[in-house]
Amino acid sequence: MFVGGFATFALLYGPQPLLPLLAGHFGVTPASASLSVSAGTGALALSLIPASLLSDRYGRALLMKCSLVASAFFSLLVPLVQDFHQLLVLRALIGIAIAGLPAAAMAWLGEEIAPRAQGRAMGLYIAGNALGGMSGRFIAALVTEWSSWQTAFLVLGVIGALAAALFWKSVPASRHFQARSLQPAALKADLGRIFRDPGLPRLFLTSFLLMGAFVGLYNYLGFRLQAPPFGLSQTAIGAVFLLYMVGTWASAWSGRLVDRIGRKNVLWMMVLVMGSGLALTLAGQLALLIAGVALFTFGFFASHTTASGWVGQRARERRALAAALYLTGYYLGASIPGSLAGLAWSRGQWPGVALVLGACVLGVLILALQLRRLAASQA
């Protein structure tokens, strides 16, 4: 599952440090260039619920295996594109193909891992996301420095293919899966129970705002670091994405902390860490900016680990559908606020972006405090 999480984020977010290059090569604006990320995350978001229904009917492991293979195949085709529209189509196909893994992964972990270890297991899975996101971005930036963006996409496709082969060989079969009906009446009943739960809709909105803030920051970080007063090279910008290693550690650490003190106590504190980091990114000194990005990254992955595990705990036997709804919000956040922040960049540069992201973080803090009160009343 760590490998599956690694491949998901490497393939989805590897192009982020290349956005300035893609904007220049295809003659598009920064906001348009960000669609090369948003096309994949948006298509993934729209595919999650259908994929979760397939996993409920036919099983988790097979769907996850096929998803990784198909996404690696489409990734290997990206270097052949001739124009920006072809690039967007292939990125959307990658998002559709890979949707089966995140749609089934949270449910698989909830079914197959003992309750006392689920926090740590979810932390390791999301740590794979973090390491994949970091590695994909850094490798893409490094390869582009020495070759071309087409070669960078080729290397990402090869990484995806290797991960798919390892995942296919290694993932254990489900032992506790029970098929659920695909009848519309059953789906309607499950959706009704999910949205009547007082906590789950708040968690879905939390995922939307969390990911919107996170992707918005990393989408436009490269543009800021490339411009004065920093003027960093492509490799140096890629090296900044090594801060994802902080997220890898934060995911595993927060999973253990959740097992000790509870989600209601972890979520709001980690959101405050995100806000503190965002404030530091306004500094004009590179060291302070990098420290701010590190804090923001730590807080994001800790918050996401906490919130995603909370969904499975509240949804119980409907965890696959609830996880898909959570992740739909998550990847829609990557597609909508993550791209809309480009308009703020065009108008107000980094302070404008920080204002939009700060509004997202404030919204998450309000939701986290509401969830804390809700959990306390149900204890």
How many structural domains are present in the chain?
A: 1
Nearest to 354 by CA among 298, 293, 309: 293
Q: CA 274, CA 211: separation in Å to the nearest integer? A: 12
Single-letter amino acid code for the residue at 114: A
Single-letter amino acid code for the residue at 371: L
What percentage of the chain reaches a pLDDT higher than 70? 96
Give the lowest-confidence range in 69-83, 288-302, 339-353, 354-368.
Answer: 339-353
Task: Let me know if residue 177 belongs to a domain.
Answer: no
DSSP assignment of 174-187 equals PSS-------HHHH
Q: The whole model's pTM is what?
A: 0.73
DSSP assignment of 309-335 equals HHHHHHHGGGHHHHHHHHHHHHHHHHH
Tokens of 88: 């967007």
The chain-wide mean pLDDT, for the chain, equals 86
Task: Let me know if residue 175 belongs to a domain.
Answer: no
Task: Let me know if residue 59 belongs to a domain.
Answer: yes
Q: What pLDDT does 70 receive?
A: 95
91 touches 331 (CB < 8 A): no
Confidence band for 177, pLDDT divided at 50, 70 and 90: low
CATH code of the domain in which 357 resides: 1.20.1250.20
pLDDT higher than 70, residue 19: yes
Q: What pLDDT does 291 receive?
A: 93
**Over the stretch 313-329, which tens digit does the pLDDT of each residue have?**
787 767 777 888 898 88
Mean pLDDT over residues 141-168, rounded? Answer: 91
Q: CA 283, CA 212: separation in Å to the nearest integer? A: 22
Q: CA 100, CA 107: separation in Å to the nearest integer? A: 11
Task: Let me know if residue 132 belongs to a domain.
Answer: yes
Task: Let me know if residue 335 belongs to a domain.
Answer: yes
Looking at per-residue confidence, does 174 or 94 come out higher? 94
Q: What pLDDT does 379 receive?
A: 42
Task: Let me know if residue 157 belongs to a domain.
Answer: yes
Q: How far is CA 270 from CA 274, 314, 374, in A?
A: 6, 20, 18
Confidence band for 15, pLDDT divided at 50, 70 and 90: confident
Q: Tell me the HSE value of 37 on the side-chain side, using a 13 A CA sphere.
A: 38
For 216, the domain range is: 2-169+196-378
Q: What pLDDT does 239 receive?
A: 78
pLDDT higher than 90, residue 203: yes
Instruction: Select, from the ranges 50-59, 164-173, 235-244, 270-279, the one with the highest average predicted confidence (pLDDT).
Output: 270-279
Task: Let me know if residue 176 belongs to a domain.
Answer: no
Confidence band for 299, pLDDT divided at 50, 70 and 90: very high
Q: What pLDDT does 16 receive?
A: 82
Q: CA 229, CA 226: separation in Å to the nearest integer? A: 9
Confidence band for 248, pLDDT divided at 50, 70 and 90: confident
Burial class (CB in 10 A: 0-12, 13-18, 19+), 184: exposed
Task: Let me know if residue 311 belongs to a domain.
Answer: yes
Give 148-153's long-range contacts (Cβ < 8 A, gap of 24+): 149/18, 149/21, 149/22, 149/25, 150/78, 150/79, 151/79, 152/14, 152/18, 153/14, 153/15, 153/75, 153/78, 153/79
Calculate helix-pair angle for 337-378, 286-315, nearest 10 degrees.
50
Instruction: Select, from the ranges 88-97, 102-111, 194-203, the one with the highest average predicted confidence (pLDDT).
Output: 88-97
